Amino acid sequence: MSTYQCLQPTANTPPYHRTLAVLVGVWLILLACISLTPAHATDTSPQFQSAGSIEEAVQIFLKQRYGSAGSAISFQVNSLDPRLKLKYCDQPLQVYSGSQPNPRGGRVTVQVACEGASPWRIYVPAQIRHMVKVLSLARPLAAGDRVTAQDLMPLVVNANQQALAYLTDPSDAIGQVVSRPMQAGQILTQRDLNIAQIVHRGDHVTLISGTGGITVSAEGVAQADAGQGQRLMVKNSRSGQLIEGIVRDPHTVVVP
């Protein structure tokens, strides 16, 4: 027989005894309910650390570390193995990286650690993308074609995926010639261009030399092909002497 049944009032029980019995019965029922509640019901902490929280910690770390590179930087954190079971960390996650920031981005491995009651550490790979605007061709060009402003169009690419030195300034390409056949949409690099030859072997040019405001000029014959800014040997038409100068334009060679 339960304690509550023993305390149940009868017809002969005095009124105040009946009231006391009811109160004690209610108290015993509440006590029984509390004792049947699972001990972990009041613990709201998850059992395992979520993959999302780890990936978010890595994202925040990378943004802080590479944030000075500007809005062109983006990050992709590799998804964690769903079978991974790490104890929930009762402390803020600690994130480290031994590698130095690379302004062009690339691959990086980040360490995430829990230094709480159940310590653990894990290494998370990530990709850092540095998006840049480069020059590409708006139309196909044959080898030897000279590049004009109309031949160029901008293209946004991931810098760390470009093996060769890309061009970003149109002035570095306009006026030069492509060294090989190229298709529309291809990225221009310095290796794809040659300086346009504006003086050719046998051309008659003017040699100019001067210091202190005094300029001396002479006629000569180019001994090779050369582009603007390149060095060229010129044979003085009067003396026959070979003189080296720098091509200024198709008709002038300046002697330093």
pLDDT digits (tens, 9 = 90+) for 69-104: 555 777 888 888 888 899 999 999 999 987 665 555
pTM above the 0.85 mark? no
DSSP state of 189: B
- Enter the tokens of residue 22: 């009811």
**50-78 pLDDT per residue, tens:** 999 999 999 999 888 876 555 577 788 88
**What is the pLDDT at residue 67?**
67
Q: Quote the pLDDT of residue 148.
A: 95
d(CA 124, CA 80): 8
The whole-angstrom separation of Cα 217 and Cα 210 is 8
The C-alpha angle 216, 222, 227, rounded to 5 degrees, equals: 95
Residues 118 and 70 in one domain: yes
The pLDDT, as a whole number, for residue 1 is 47
Residue 206 in contact with residue 196, Cβ under 8 Å? no
169 lies in the same domain as 124: no
> What residues are paired with 205 via a beta bridge?
220
Q: Which amino acid is at 156?
A: V
Please list the ranges in the chain whose pLDDT falls under 50: 1-7, 34-42
pLDDT, residue 28, reads 60
- Here the tokens at position 123 are 């290494």
Nearest to 166 by CA among 202, 158, 174: 158
- pLDDT for res 234: 96
**Do 102 and 60 lie in a common domain?**
yes
Enter the tokens of residue 234: 């010129």
For residue 32, what pLDDT is reported? 54
pLDDT of residue 76: 83
CA distance 159 to 153: 17
Which CATH number goes with the domain that contains 138?
Answer: 3.90.1210.10
Is there a single domain that holds both residue 57 and residue 116?
yes
The pLDDT value recorded for residue 72 is: 74
Which of the listed residues 194, 210, 245 is the one where a domain comes to its end? 194
Overall domain count for the chain: 4
Q: What is the pLDDT of residue 195?
A: 84
CATH number of residue 235's parent domain: 2.30.30.760
Asked if 131 and 159 count as a contact pair (C-beta separation under 8 A), the reply is yes
- In terms of domains, do 125 and 76 share one? yes
Domain around 55: 51-131
pLDDT value, residue 61: 92
